[in-house]
Structure 1
């Protein structure tokens, strides 16, 4: 009788071990099929770059539209108000030193009220590949310039 119970116990133990091994193998198969290939990773990175470029272009379009709207509203305002408004246009001489980053330059431009948002300028320079092409020097900039115009000026 003891031998029969022992054999049944061993059989149950082996059956349980077999189920555990099977479950372990199935779990491993599922995780191994969900790996990311280099090709899909590179494709996702390219799509991200394309989206960033589109975003930069849309930001430029928005800035140009805002400036056009500002210019249109300036034309409809009486000349006395227009003269007052032109005096409030911000301008500055931006001095770019060796080692300055695009984020530092963008912050200076925002502080001087040349641009509305330093993050937009920094993203534009990065997305267009211009952040590494910024030239040391002094540049005359004003708030009527678009992000693109500012970028072209400081990367010549």
Structure 2
């Protein structure tokens, strides 16, 4: 029994020493007494962390909106650049698609033959238009003999004036 009491006393001493050291080191499992002040501090700390989380979420949303706006602006810039390039390409195509040719008029050539030559050269898709224009009285009587440079960028009236000699050949 003596040894039992001695062991029990040593155990009590060790538990007491452990409790004192735990309080000084503020170990949570040994310091089991939580006061209302500790609970208030914990609640305030939790509330502060929740506020920080809400602020971070707001910043993330703002950044996502900014990125979306930048992407939209880039798309608009790309679209306008593409449109400008398309317009430039169309203008280049128009310049490239101008067809030039020499129309030969000699004695006895009819207005139909002139229209056919222009159509065959690809200057006009329908030579009949030039034929009808040249059949007007003011042009039909003054068609000149020779060779004339015409191109598809000219109007039918400009072509008729060149063929009749009413303006100088360009």
Q: What TM-score results when the alignment is normalised by the length of structure 1?
A: 0.47
| Larger RCO: 1 or 2 (CA < 8 Å, sep 6+) | 1
Structure number, greater radius of gyration: 2
Q: What TM-score results when the alignment is normalised by the length of structure 2?
A: 0.43
